[in-house]
């Protein structure tokens, strides 16, 4: 089936200690991007990796002019990596997915098919293949976000999302440096009246590397950031 390519697409991936995943992730992204976009770029955001991730990223970029590398030293957090990707993206459509190889980037057309009638298209995992503690944390996050920010989505922290670039500008600046970045994005998008479409995506078990979402320091940081950007929301849009 022939697919009508979009004019341009920026893709970025946050990586932290993903030396065993990065080659496969970027190889798939290059193949998919060339199939579905006339012009495209891939931004590798290395968030202070202590393994060989950054060196591999630089090798990939040397071999393909579409690929650029941005690096943080030291590690700053998931939110900081996403903000870097948004800032560096130059094309009209911007998509990101996590660098842990738990998503299938060939499902990109599901997002592209819906962006004409939305400002953001966000994925939700058909079946989440994570450790039980991650499922518990997601349930708690849904309750937290509904009570604290007044919104509900099927899968708040699914790491597969597509944006119109002009929509990103409407939710800037983003404050969160850690795990609450997706909550901040969605809270600001709702307050700004952006149209948000949800699409189902596949999810796969992590084969290599370690997850950090259940780390107590990550959770405490997320709670602190919630209070900070809730104040920002009230100042920008008024209390709800």
- Taking only the tens place, the pLDDT of each residue in 112-135 is 999 999 999 999 999 876 666 666
Contact 95, 109 (CB under 8 A): no
Full-prediction pTM beyond 0.95? no
Given pLDDT bands bounded at 50, 70 and 90, which one contains residue 9? very high
| pLDDT recorded at residue 133 | 66
Nearest to 95 by CA among 10, 195, 185: 10
Cα–Cα distances (Å) from 187 to 62, 100, 117, 190, in that order, read 38, 25, 20, 5
**Alpha carbon of residue 225 to chain centroid:** 18
pLDDT above 60: residue 234:
yes
| pLDDT recorded at residue 145 | 79
| pLDDT recorded at residue 131 | 64
Portion of the chain with pLDDT greater than 70, in percent: 90
Contact 123, 200 (CB under 8 A): yes
Residue keyed to tokens 């590690």: 75
138 burial via Cβ count (<10 Å: 0-12, 13-18, 19+): middle
Per the DSSP assignment, residues forming a β-bridge with 125 are: 201
| pLDDT recorded at residue 180 | 86
| pLDDT recorded at residue 231 | 76
Domain ranges of the chain: 6-237
pLDDT above 90: residue 100:
yes
Torsion-angle region of 35 (φ positive above 0: left; ψ -120 to 50: alpha; else: beta) = alpha
Strand, coil or helix: 13:
strand
What number does CATH give the domain 6-237? 3.90.550.10
Provide φ and ψ at 32, rounded to 5°. -70, -45
| pLDDT recorded at residue 150 | 82
pLDDT above 70: residue 238:
no
Q: Which two tokens stand for residue 175?
A: 């404050």
């Amino acid at each position: 089936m022939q697919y009508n390519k979009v004019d341009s697409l920026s893709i970025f991936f946050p990586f932290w200690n993903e030396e065993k995943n990065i080659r496969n992730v970027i190889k798939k992204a290059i193949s998919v991007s060339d199939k579905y976009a006339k012009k495209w770029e891939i931004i590798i955001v290395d968030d202070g990796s202590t393994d060989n991730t950054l060196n591999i990223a630089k090798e990939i970029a040397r071999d393909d002019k579409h690929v650029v590398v941005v690096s943080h030293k030291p590690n700053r957090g998931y939110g900081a990596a996403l903000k870097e990707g948004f800032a560096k993206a130059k094309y009209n459509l911007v998509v990101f997915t996590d660098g842990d190889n738990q998503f299938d980037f060939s499902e990109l057309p599901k997002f592209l098919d819906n962006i004409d009638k939305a400002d953001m298209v966000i994925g939700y995992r058909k079946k989440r293949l994570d450790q039980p503690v991650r499922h518990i944390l997601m349930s708690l996050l849904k309750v937290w976000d509904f009570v604290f920010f007044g919104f509900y989505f099927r899968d708040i922290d699914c790491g597969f999302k597509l944006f119109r670039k002009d929509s990103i500008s409407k939710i800037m600046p983003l404050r969160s440096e850690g795990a609450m970045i997706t909550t901040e994005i969605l809270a600001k998008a709702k307050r700004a009246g952006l149209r948000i479409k949800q699409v189902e995506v596949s999810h796969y078990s992590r084969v290599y590397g370690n997850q950090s979402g259940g780390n107590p320091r990550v959770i405490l940081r997320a709670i602190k950031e919630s209070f900070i950007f809730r104040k920002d929301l009230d100042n920008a849009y008024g209390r709800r």
